[in-house]
Amino acid sequence: MKKYIYSWCLLGAIVYSCKTQQSTSASASASSTDLTKSEMLKKGEDLFNLRCGRCHDLPAPSQFTAADWEPIMARMAPKAKLSADETNWVSAYVNANAKK
């Protein structure tokens, strides 16, 4: 009987620790994953207008197809010193408005 109670306590402890782990990891990544698609596009647009017209005229997203933008963003994101999240947002913005 003692063993039975002990194993339930153990099980409870395991379940509890899993739960707390889940909640902490969820809140840690909330800043990037909890954004809605339109919030991401808005952030991408703002960053694009702010950071991508410094060295040359601001390009229009519709000047290039999404396939063209991929290598361009890979070259320009480090130039504009975008973080990984910011690069994703700007890419989402240009892709959403790219030449079809």
Q: Which of 2, 37, 75, 100 binds ligand HEC (CB under 6 A)?
A: 75
Alpha-carbon dihedral angle through residues 86, 87, 91, 92, given to the nearest 10 degrees: -40
Closest residue by Cα to residue 69 from 44, 91, 97: 91
The reply to whether 43 sits near ligand HEC by the rule CB under 6 A is: no
The reply to whether 96 sits near ligand HEC by the rule CB under 6 A is: no
Would you say 79 or 99 has its CB closer to ligand HEC?
79
Decide if 89 contacts 40 (C-beta within 8 A): yes
CB of 34 to ligand HEC, least distance (A): 24
